[in-house]
């Protein structure tokens, strides 16, 4: 048999990734051909490429629906795993990228020429996310994560002459490089202890004895295992900005260009969560793990629960003091990382589903909230909450949409944010983390104060007569997101079914971990 043919057969599975890579290269080359003139053309090419990739992913999702496990298989050498979990996050990444690309195209303060690399870097980051969420192999996970990170560092510093942008990039790469190094060191220890870099083999041990499963190592060398897992978790914690690895978040989010902040807060963070869920699932929850491993999972879960509680409390309390809307949203995104982490901490299949659902909700409401921020930066040139005063009456559509986002971020009905939180709270109580649910509920009340402050500035202050400045594309994107936020909140069954399919396709039996 031709030695190359298994590789070629595997290409079918990574068709979306291949297409996205081609689009990224085409964007880069076309920008060079255009010599930096009219970068919007590159932006439209990017939009087209993303739509085509999305179409391929929808096809893949359908194929996955036909298979009983929700997983299609693995390409050669066990590098890329195609399952519903990964495809779900890829679809949302493409959706978020579409919105971010529109933000870049219609950002009034962005240059129209010489910014072709913007799209190339965004696409590069997306390719990183694609590989990151669909691999059980730690090497590919790390490469995807670094591809995402390197593109993000450059994007954060994209405005080269802007001091704040430069500072954001510097802080991002210092923290990012450190956490990537720490995570790699953790992976090297895990490799040494188990003899494999494949998460599936690591969780269960290999049949031929070439690799030792985690279960055997818990008894032999508990301390090195604990150190290794904590180091790897530190890398994930940085990516999703969980305390104590959140220091970079407010500064980077504030200094980076707003579309980039949107990308970091939404796509990058969700990708971090996806990789974390796959990591935890493959090591601790898949079918056939040892009893010792399951017991260990509870301990890790407790650690994550404590981190979740601290993260959401710190995020919300810090957000209370912010007068800068961008920084406020940055702290709010830290708080939401805490909520989503609850779903991971409960260490059950249903908890993972709840976390996936919440991340989907988080995509919708944060894309909308950052879109609103971009819209009003274009109008007022300022990021301050005070600058919004009375603007609600002049821009009713966008402002009403923002109020919907704020209601959803707070977690009130009838929005998707409410249902997401409801699922998380329910699974939290089910798994015996009632204390965590109480803290989360109190935090939601706290968050009401600062979210309401934005709504108050918009509507409850006097109108200042000035001609309105129309940004129709941004306005319609935000309005569509707001409609989605309400519709998926009211009719949540399909989204819930999709997020339930995720853990099942990872091979996590639905009854695990219930105490």
Partner 1 sequence: MGLGAYVAVSAALFVLGLIAILVRRNVIYILMGIEMILNAANINFVAFNRFGSMKLDGQMFAVFVIILAAAEAAVALAIVLNVFNLFDSVKPSEADLLRE
The residue among 182, 134, 176 whose CA lies nearest residue 155 is 176
Would you give the binding string for partner 1 spanning residues 223-262, x where CB under 8 A is met? ---------------------------xx--xx-------
Site string for partner 1, 135-154 (x = CB under 8 A): ---xx--xx--x---x--xx
- Name the H helices within 389-471: 391-394, 396-410, 416-430, 434-459
Task: State the nearest-atom distance from the C-beta of 145 to partner 1, in Å.
Answer: 10
Query: Considering the rule CB under 8 A, would residue 218 count as an interface residue with partner 1?
Result: no
User: Measured from the CB atom, is 6 or 396 closer to partner 1?
Assistant: 6
Decide: is 208 part of the binding site for partner 1 (CB under 8 A): no
> CB under 8 A: which stretch of 47-55, 183-191, 430-438, 495-503 binds partner 1?
183-191
CB of 275 to partner 1, least distance (A): 16
- Please report how close the Cβ of residue 358 comes to partner 1 at its closest, in angstroms: 28
| Rg of the chain in Å (alpha carbons) | 22
Which residues are registered as beta bridge partners of 142? none
Q: Cβ closer to partner 1: 78 or 378?
A: 78
Q: Which residues contact 221 (CB under 8 A, 6 or more apart)?
A: 193
- Closer to partner 1 by CB, 55 or 247: give it: 247
Judged by CB under 8 A, does residue 192 bind partner 1?
yes
Q: Of residues 30, 185, 426, 452, which one binds partner 1 by CB under 8 A?
A: 185
**Of positions 36, 177, 390, 432, contacts partner 1 by CB under 8 A:** 177
Please tell me whether residue 73 adopts helix, strand or coil conformation.
strand
Mind giving me the DSSP string for 136-177?
-BHHHHHHHHHHHHHHHHHHHT-STT-HHHHHHHHHHHHHHH
Please name which of 412, 336, 401 lies closest in space to residue 375, comparing C-alpha atoms.
401
Instruction: Give min distance, CB of 312 to partner 1, in A.
Output: 19
C-alpha span between 122 and 214 (Å, rounded): 37
- Helix/strand/coil (H/E/C) assignment for every residue in 1-62: CCCCHHHHHHHCCCHHHHHHHHHHHHHHHHHHHHCCCCCHHHHHHHHHHHHHHHHHHHHHHH
Half-sphere exposure (Cβ direction) of 420: Cα atoms closer than 13 Å: 34
Cα separation, 359 vs 337, in Å, equals 9
Among 63, 167, 298, 384, binds partner 1 (CB under 8 A): 167
Q: Residue 165 burial (CB < 10 Å; 0-12/13-18/19+)?
A: buried
Q: Does 214 bind partner 1 (CB under 8 A)?
A: no
Site size toward partner 1 (CB under 8 A) is: 43
Closest contact distance (angstroms) between CB of 131 and partner 1 is 13
Q: Rule CB under 8 A: is residue 393 a binding residue for partner 1?
A: no
CB of 135 to partner 1, least distance (A): 13
Positions in the binding site for partner 1 (CB under 8 A): 138-139, 142-143, 146, 150, 153-154, 157, 160-161, 163-164, 166-171, 173-174, 177-178, 180-182, 184-185, 187-189, 191-192, 195-197, 210-211, 250-251, 254-255, 321
């Amino acid at each position: 048999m031709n030695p190359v043919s298994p590789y070629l057969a595997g290409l079918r599975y990574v068709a979306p990734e291949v297409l996205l890579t081609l689009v990224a290269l085409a964007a880069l080359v076309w920008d060079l051909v255009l010599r930096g003139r009219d970068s919007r053309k590159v932006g439209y090419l990017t939009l087209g490429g993303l739509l085509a990739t999305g179409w391929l992913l929808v096809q893949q999702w359908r194929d996955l629906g036909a298979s009983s496990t929700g997983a299609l298989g693995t390409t050669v050498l066990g590098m890329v795993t195609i399952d519903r979990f990964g495809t779900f996050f890829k679809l949302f990444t493409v959706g978020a990228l579409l919105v971010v690309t529109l933000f870049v195209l219609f950002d009034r303060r962005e240059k129209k020429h010489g910014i072709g690399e913007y799209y190339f870097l965004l696409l590069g980051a997306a390719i990183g996310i694609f590989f990151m969420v669909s691999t059980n192999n730690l090497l590919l996970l790390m490469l995807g994560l670094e591809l995402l990170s390197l593109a993000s560092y450059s994007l954060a510093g994209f405005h080269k002459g802007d001091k704040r942008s430069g500072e954001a990039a510097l802080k991002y790469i210092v923290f990012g490089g450190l956490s990537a190094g720490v995570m790699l060191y953790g992976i090297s220890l895990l490799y040494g202890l188990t003899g494999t870099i494949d998460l599936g083999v690591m969780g269960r041990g290999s049949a031929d004895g070439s690799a030792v499963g985690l279960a055997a190592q818990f008894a032999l060398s508990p301390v090195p295992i604990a150190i290794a897992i904590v180091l790897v978790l530190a890398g994930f914690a940085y990516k999703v900005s969980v305390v104590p690895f959140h220091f970079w978040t407010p500064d980077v989010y504030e200094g980076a260009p707003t579309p980039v902040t949107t990308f970091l807060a939404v796509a990058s963070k969700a990708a971090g969560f996806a990789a974390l869920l796959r990591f935890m699932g493959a090591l601790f929850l898949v079918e056939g793990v040892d009893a010792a491993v399951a017991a260990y999972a509870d301990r890790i879960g407790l650690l994550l629960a404590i981190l979740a509680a601290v993260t959401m409390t710190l995020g919300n309390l810090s957000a209370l003091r912010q007068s800068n809307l961008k920084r406020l949203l940055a702290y709010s995104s830290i708080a939401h990382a805490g909520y989503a982490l609850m779903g991971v901490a409960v260490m059950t299949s249903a908890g993972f589903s709840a976390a996936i659902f919440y991340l989907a909700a988080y995509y919708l409401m944060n894309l909308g909230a950052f879109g609103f921020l971009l819209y009003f930066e274009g109008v007022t040139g300022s990021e301050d909450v005070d600058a919004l005063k009375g603007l609600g009456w002049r821009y009713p559509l966008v402002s009403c949409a923002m109020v919907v986002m704020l209601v959803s971020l707070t977690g009130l009905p009838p929005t998707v944010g409410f249902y997401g939180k409801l699922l998380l709270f329910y699974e939290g109580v089910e798994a015996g983390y009632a204390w965590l649910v109480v803290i989360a509920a109190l935090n939601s009340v706290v968050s009401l104060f600062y979210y309401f402050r934005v709504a108050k500035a918009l509507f409850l202050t006097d109108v200042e007569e000035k001609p309105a400045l129309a940004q129709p594309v941004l306005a319609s994107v935000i309005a569509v997101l707001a409609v989605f936020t309400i519709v998926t909140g009211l009719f949540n069954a399909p989204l819930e079914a999709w997020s339930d399919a995720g853990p099942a396709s990872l091979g996590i039996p639905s009854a695990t971990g219930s105490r």
